[in-house]
Structure 1
Amino acid sequence: MRLLLVEDATRLRELLTEAVHAAGWRVDSVGSLVDAEEAIATTEYDLLLIDLGLPDGDGLDLIRTMRRAKNQTPILILTARGAIDERIAGLDAGADDYLVKPFNHREFLARCRALLRRSPSVADPVLEAGRLVFDVASGSVMCGDEALALAPRERAVLEILMRDIGSVVNKRKLEYALSEFGEELSSNALETAVSRLRKKLDPARTAVSLETIRGVGYFLRERKQ
């Protein structure tokens, strides 16, 4: 899951970024319409979180432009504009949901999960391999009745490998999944995430194993139980 947060208030942007990371999703954070337009043009997102009062314009204009361009990515408006007419204007412009500041972070994450379940980019909201069940919207990974405690990067790698179960996924695709806007990925970040994930995917317990094709990439193999 990759989200775009468009919010010009630095501290709120930091807090929301932390909350999104804790939920197991990746997020690119920008503070202006210009930067938002550039991010949307170059990256495919599963959910957009858009403030309306931005320093270089109104977030409603961005939403209308996206919808005219047939971009159907779910949009959650985050704004201090709470009047009923303003809410109606936001939804009529093309937003899928509307949250007025200040808001509870638990409610914020719940609304994100609800929208992610409806995202057109999420072809399979629940992935299964071996004894693993991965709920993409909530980020939970279960092995039978046991929840696996995975770090965000470990979850990102596992999601891609489960979507291409049995097929080799090249390193570049996985490295892109771990990257975030404005953050440079260290040279061994992918290898570290894979190593930690492999240790948690005990084949005897999960009935899957994470295999390496040296110099090419990785794949997830289902094992006979």
Structure 2
Amino acid sequence: MSRILLIEDHEQLARLVSKGLAGAGIVADEVTTNDSAWAALRQVDYHCLILDRGLPDGDGLNLLRHIRQGGLTVPCLILTARDALHDRVEGLEAGGDDYLPKPFAMAELVARVRALLRRPAITKSLRPCYQDLMLFPEGGAMQCGERSITLAAAEMQIMLALVNRQGEVVRRSAMEAVAWGLSDAVTPNALDVALPRIRRKLQSVGSRLQIINVRGQGYALL
């Protein structure tokens, strides 16, 4: 299931957009400011952004420019009431991939998001690997040598976070965010329940790697 970041300070509109996307199998984490969006982007590898311009802490394009300057190429749909030609040009030049003015039809929004999600398909189909492990996100499997095992959706997201960091520490909050999202109700011990399951699965496929708890910092795959 695709996960996107919805940056919109209008609470009712954000709920409607999230509901419309959910009906298309797309999960949206909702934030309301540039600062909260940047914090979310540092924790989760989103497949797409939906960005409003008129946010409480400034123009959303400032965030978009910051994202692009940092080398993040996640597709971005700018969703705003500013529909003048110069506004659209400014949005696209700031790094936007598409521009949809308010008001809009939900069917068109969903179609445009789906179109953006199709763009990085080649990148997403790559098999993340680290030492003796290979992950198959689309099939929900983890493989070591000739052995493979199925991972639940949250387990796969946790393993992707660890494998992508190649032995570096991943913060606990970041692992919870990628596994269950920022908008979902997560029990405080959800990660503590998931990690022993993943460790047993690593052993069952014969991997030499272990998930290590780095006290006060997070977890690493070593």
TM-score range relative to shorter protein: 0.5 to 0.7
Between the aligned partners of 2:95 and 2:157, the Cα distance in structure 1 is 32
TM-score (norm 1): 0.63
Alignment-mate amino acid for residue 168 of structure 1: I
Counterpart check, 1:15 vs 2:21: no
Paired residue for 1:60?
Answer: 61
Deviations 1:148-200 (A, max 9, x none): xxxxxxxxxxx93615377324555247566121322369x9xxxxxxxxxxx
Paired residue for 1:76?
Answer: 77
Counterpart check, 1:162 vs 2:127: no
Residues 84-95 of structure 1 mapped to structure 2, 5 A cutoff: 84-95=85-96
TM-score (norm 2): 0.64
Instruction: Using the TM superposition, name which of 95-104 and 162-171 deviates more.
Output: 162-171
Deviations 1:15-72 (A, max 9, x none): 0111111111221100111110100011100000000000011100001011111110
8 A Cα contact 1:116 1:122, kept in partner: no
Paired residue for 1:198?
Answer: none
8 A Cα contact 1:6 1:29, kept in partner: yes
8 A Cα contact 1:46 1:122, kept in partner: no
Change (3 A) 1:12 1:213: closer
For 2:15, what is the secondary structure of its paired residue? helix
Between the aligned partners of 1:175 and 1:115, the Cα distance in structure 2 is 21
Alignment-mate amino acid for residue 99 of structure 1: L
Alignment-mate amino acid for residue 8 of structure 2: E
8 A Cα contact 1:47 1:119, kept in partner: no
Counterpart check, 1:26 vs 2:3: no
Change (3 A) 1:173 1:121: farther
Alignment-mate amino acid for residue 2 of structure 1: R
CA RMSD in angstroms comes to 3.2
Paired residue for 1:38?
Answer: 39
Percent identity between matched residues is: 37
Which segments of 5 or more consecutive residues in structure 2 lack a partner in the other structure? Answer: 127-135, 159-177, 191-196, 203-222
Between the aligned partners of 1:102 and 1:185, the Cα distance in structure 2 is 33
Counterpart check, 1:106 vs 2:107: yes
Between the aligned partners of 1:63 and 1:8, the Cα distance in structure 2 is 16
For 1:5, what is the secondary structure of its paired residue? strand
Residues 61-210 of structure 1 mapped to structure 2, 5 A cutoff: 61-119=62-120, 122-124=123-125, 160=137, 162=139, 164=141, 167-170=148-151, 173-174=155-156, 179-185=180-186
Note the C-alpha offset of 1:213: 9.5
Note the C-alpha offset of 1:120: 6.4
Between the aligned partners of 1:102 and 1:46, the Cα distance in structure 2 is 24
Change (3 A) 1:57 1:114: same
Alignment-mate amino acid for residue 16 of structure 1: V
Alignment-mate amino acid for residue 17 of structure 2: L
8 A Cα contact 2:125 2:138, kept in partner: no
Between the aligned partners of 1:96 and 1:75, the Cα distance in structure 2 is 5
Between the aligned partners of 1:214 and 1:37, the Cα distance in structure 2 is 31
